[in-house]
């Protein structure tokens, strides 16, 4: 993006010149793992990004997704008549990448999760329309952004933003609901089940980022649904005790499933194991169930330090692992002393629904 400059034109106006592809590369990296993104000197970076976007969309004759799908459809058909797939492929590829990046930046720069979902929805609309209109066109002709793995990753990013939007607007904005989270998580898992895992050998972490991590995200989203359903049922006195306990156990199972999809040294493994353990504490599970999970969390918390010791959430994870470890040590000591039994339900004071 630093190479993009404004050049005066013969008619007294100006045009952007520079290397193309930066937005595509950034978006592709973000779809594999959003943690790759870091911004310094935000005002300068945003100006350079907007210059890059202006240059790229002009160079590729990309339709403006903000005008809505009908406008994109009409412009795509015009491009198809004028230049076939050689014109349509770069144009729509840029439109899709630009819209995904706009959604991501709505979160990264101003924290507007609802706007992020709106932008990413436009990308999903374009992708689905092309896949439906030209279903048999090979990837080499139609473009990579219309492949199953790419759609899964876009929808997974959307689901993350949807969960954050729900958390920001709980019961205020009817567009974001717990039911919507569960439905999208199940839909993503269904799409993943029908999508063969492929590996791009020139892209390290391709299969991990587009397949394994997205499956983990979807299971964690299901865990979020069950946990929040239980908390709401408890706080609002709107569900019987057995229903709340059942939802908590479902949350624990979903979060454990998510955690174990990640490598041992991946910080998300420790994060999701911690939430799974919290669900079991809240479900008043016996120590014979929680102690093995505490040990698993302790191992994951230690292993992650080789890679994620200085991540943006490292201190938070450190604190959660430490407090679990202290309770584990106390529980094992009391069992050895005969004060507690492994078939008894014991939990720390911070592990109850009352403090959720």
Across 184-199, average pLDDT: 93
The torsion of the CA quartet 348, 350, 354, 356, rounded to 10 degrees, works out to -140
Percent of the chain whose pLDDT exceeds 90: 83
Tens-digit pLDDT profile for residues 34-46: 999 988 888 888 9
Q: How many domains does the chain have?
A: 1
Question: Between the CA of residue 214 and those of 32, 127, 150, what are the distances in Å?
Answer: 9, 18, 11
- The pLDDT, as a whole number, for residue 10 is 59
Asked if the structure places residue 352 within a domain, the reply is: no
8 A C-beta contact, residue 108 and residue 93: no
Is residue 81 helix, strand or coil?
helix
8 A C-beta contact, residue 118 and residue 103: yes
d(CA 98, CA 119): 9
d(CA 86, CA 143): 10
Q: Where are the beta strands (DSSP E) in 18-86?
A: none
- The pLDDT, as a whole number, for residue 169 is 87
Tens-digit pLDDT profile for residues 277-324: 999 999 999 999 999 999 999 999 999 999 999 999 999 999 999 999
Tens-digit pLDDT profile for residues 70-106: 999 999 999 999 999 999 999 999 999 999 999 999 9
- The pLDDT, as a whole number, for residue 162 is 97
Q: Residue 201: exposed, middle, or buried by beta-carbon count in 10 A (0-12, 13-18, 19+)? A: exposed
Asked if the structure places residue 143 within a domain, the reply is: yes
* CB atoms near residue 293 (< 10 Å): 22
Q: Which two tokens stand for residue 190?
A: 């269904």
Asked if the structure places residue 276 within a domain, the reply is: no
Specify the pTM: 0.93
pLDDT at 8 over 80: no
Asked if the structure places residue 266 within a domain, the reply is: no
Across 194-212, average pLDDT: 85
The phi and psi torsions of 190 (rounded to 5 degrees) equal -65, -40
Percent of the chain whose pLDDT exceeds 70: 94
Greatest extent of the chain over all pairs of C-alpha atoms, in Å:
89
Across 247-272, average pLDDT: 98
pLDDT at 21 over 90: no
Top pLDDT among 190 and 170 is at: 190
pLDDT at 2 over 70: no
- The pLDDT, as a whole number, for residue 158 is 98
Asked if the structure places residue 121 within a domain, the reply is: yes
126 is in which domain, residue-wise? 1-153
Distance of CA 284 to the CA centre of its chain: 30
Q: How confident is the model at residue 205 (pLDDT cuts 50, 70, 90)?
A: confident
pLDDT at 328 over 70: yes
Asked if the structure places residue 46 within a domain, the reply is: yes
d(CA 326, CA 323): 5
Q: Which two tokens stand for residue 296?
A: 């698993």
Q: How confident is the model at residue 330 (pLDDT cuts 50, 70, 90)?
A: very high
pLDDT at 204 over 80: no
Asked if the structure places residue 40 within a domain, the reply is: yes
Asked if the structure places residue 12 within a domain, the reply is: yes
d(CA 121, CA 143): 19
Across 94-123, average pLDDT: 94
Top pLDDT among 356 and 345 is at: 345
Structure letter (DSSP) for residue 209: I
């Amino acid at each position: 993006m630093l190479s993009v400059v404004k050049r005066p034109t013969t008619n007294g106006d100006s045009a952007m010149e520079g290397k193309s592809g930066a937005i595509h590369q950034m978006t592709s990296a973000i779809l594999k793992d959003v943690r790759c993104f870091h911004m310094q000197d935000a005002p300068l970076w945003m100006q350079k990004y907007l210059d890059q976007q202006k240059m790229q969309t002009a160079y590729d004759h990309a339709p403006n997704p903000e005008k809505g799908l009908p406008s994109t459809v009409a412009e795509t058909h015009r491009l198809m008549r004028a230049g076939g797939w050689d014109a349509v492929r770069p144009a729509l590829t840029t439109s899709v990448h630009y819209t995904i990046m706009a959604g991501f930046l709505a979160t990264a720069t101003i924290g507007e999760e609802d706007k992020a979902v709106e932008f990413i929805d436009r990308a999903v609309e374009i992708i689905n329309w092309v896949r439906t209109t030209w279903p048999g066109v090979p990837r080499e002709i139609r473009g990579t952004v219309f492949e199953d793995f790419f759609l899964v990753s876009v929808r997974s990013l959307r689901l993350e933003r949807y969960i954050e939007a729900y958390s920001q607007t709980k019961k205020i904005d009817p567009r974001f609901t717990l039911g919507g989270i569960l439905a999208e998580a199940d839909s993503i898992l269904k799409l993943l089940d029908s999508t063969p895992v492929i590996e791009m050998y020139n892209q390290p972490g391709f299969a991990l980022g587009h397949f394994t991590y997205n499956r983990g995200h979807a299971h964690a989203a299901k865990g979020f649904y069950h946990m929040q359903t239980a908390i709401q049922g408890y706080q609002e006195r709107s569900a019987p005790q057995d229903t709340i306990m059942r939802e908590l156990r479902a949350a624990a199972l979903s979060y454990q499933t998510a955690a174990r999809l990640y490598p041992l040294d991946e910080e998300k493994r420790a994060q999701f194991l911690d939430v799974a353990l919290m669900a079991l504490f809240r479900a008043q599970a016996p120590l014979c169930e929680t102690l093995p999970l505490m040990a698993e969390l302790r191992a994951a918390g230690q292993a992650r330090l080789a890679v994620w010791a200085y991540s943006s959430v490292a201190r938070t994870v450190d604190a959660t692992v430490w407090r679990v470890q202290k309770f584990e040590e106390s529980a094992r000591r009391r069992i050895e002393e005969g004060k507690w039994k492994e078939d008894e339900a014991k939990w720390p004071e911070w592990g109850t629904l009352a403090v959720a």
